[in-house]
């Protein structure tokens, strides 16, 4: 599978690069970003943190706003940021042009309903196709962590919980914790998967926790001034599900913080250290 480089920038002794490739999973061209710390040029095979962004975002938001490169360089951690959905003229978007569905809002599920089923298979892309591409083309190991924000936090939780053994570390910022019970999730799951709500459970972190066979510790940060906290994110549901299942969860409610990248940048170092420690010991 050929990679076309889009851009390359020196950063914190390493390199931030963007690539384009044809995705067989999504049946369209996709872009992703990768941060390669200095150790990547020294022959080391490094662990990878996959970052999943939220609604309306692309691969660029995290890399430009989170300020993760400096500590990633110190820790020897590769960061990979895919796009949030399939793109291109052939990919259907929301027929009403809404921002919370379709382009920029793939929700990291495998769609089963038309016209979405051909392209909107972000779960398989993130879990299988993209890591295979990264591991074949960059100096990385098969030690993987996953994290994300909002819709991407939902994606990180679901990718790890549905695929035990695939990831060695897991965290999230302000995740959509219970998508089958919130407006964003009901809209996305209803259209991508159909109206049978029993099928939605396969993509809801709270439901998956009840059946999880792996006890991968989860770190979650949530701002208490987040405008989406009560209606869309529902961290209390995640906490209750983890407690009922006996699943290790550290949920930190951060006073005064909102849903923005100011919030992410404030706590990203804690998450990078959380992942690096687990990946070193994996």
Q: pLDDT in tens for each of the 282 residues of the chain? A: 689 999 999 999 999 999 999 999 999 999 999 999 999 999 889 999 999 999 999 999 999 999 999 999 999 999 999 999 999 999 999 999 999 999 999 999 999 999 999 999 999 999 999 999 999 999 999 999 999 999 999 999 999 999 999 999 999 999 999 999 999 999 999 999 999 999 999 999 999 999 999 999 999 999 999 999 999 999 999 999 999 999 999 999 999 999 999 999 999 999 999 999 999 987
Q: Kindly report the CATH number that applies to the domain delimited by 4-281.
A: 3.40.50.1820
Which residues, 6+ apart, have CB-to-CB distance to 74 below 8 Å?
none
Counting other chains too, the contacts that 135-140 makes at CB distance below 8 Å and 24 or more residues apart are 136/1, 137/3, 138/34, 138/36, 138/40, 138/78, 139/36, 139/40, 139/43, 139/44, 139/45, 139/46, 140/45, 140/46, 140/47, 140/48, 140/78
Residues serving a catalytic function are 150, 226, 259
């Amino acid at each position: 599978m050929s990679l076309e480089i889009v851009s390359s920038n020196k950063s914190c002794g390493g390199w931030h690069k963007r690539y384009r490739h044809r995705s067989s999973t999504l049946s369209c061209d996709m872009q992703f970003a990768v941060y390669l710390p200095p150790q990547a040029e020294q022959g080391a095979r490094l662990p990878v943190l996959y970052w999943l962004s939220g609604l309306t975002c692309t691969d660029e938001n995290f890399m430009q706003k989170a300020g993760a490169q400096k500590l990633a360089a110190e820790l020897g951690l590769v960061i990979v940021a895919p796009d949030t959905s399939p793109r291109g003229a052939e990919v259907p978007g929301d027929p009403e042009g809404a921002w919370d569905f379709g382009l920029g809002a793939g929700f990291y599920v495998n769609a089963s309903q038309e016209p979405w089923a051909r392209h909107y298979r972000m779960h398989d892309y993130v879990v299988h196709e993209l890591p295979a591409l990264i591991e074949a083309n960059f100096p990385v190991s098969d030690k993987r962590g996953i994290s994300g924000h909002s819709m991407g936090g939902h994606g990180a939780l679901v990718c790890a919980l549905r695929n035990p053994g695939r990831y060695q570390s897991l965290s999230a910022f302000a995740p959509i914790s219970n998508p089958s019970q919130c407006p964003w999730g009901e809209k996305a799951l209803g259209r991508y998967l159909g109206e049978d709500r029993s099928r939605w459970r396969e993509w809801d972190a709270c439901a998956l926790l009840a059946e999880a066979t792996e006890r991968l510790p989860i770190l979650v940060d949530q701002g208490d001034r987040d405008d989406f906290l009560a209606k869309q994110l529902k961290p209390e549901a995640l906490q209750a599900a983890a407690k009922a299942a006996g699943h290790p969860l550290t949920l930190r409610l951060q006073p005064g913080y909102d849903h923005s990248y100011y919030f992410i940048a404030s706590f990203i170092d804690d998450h990078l250290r959380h992942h690096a420690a687990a990946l070193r010991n994996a």
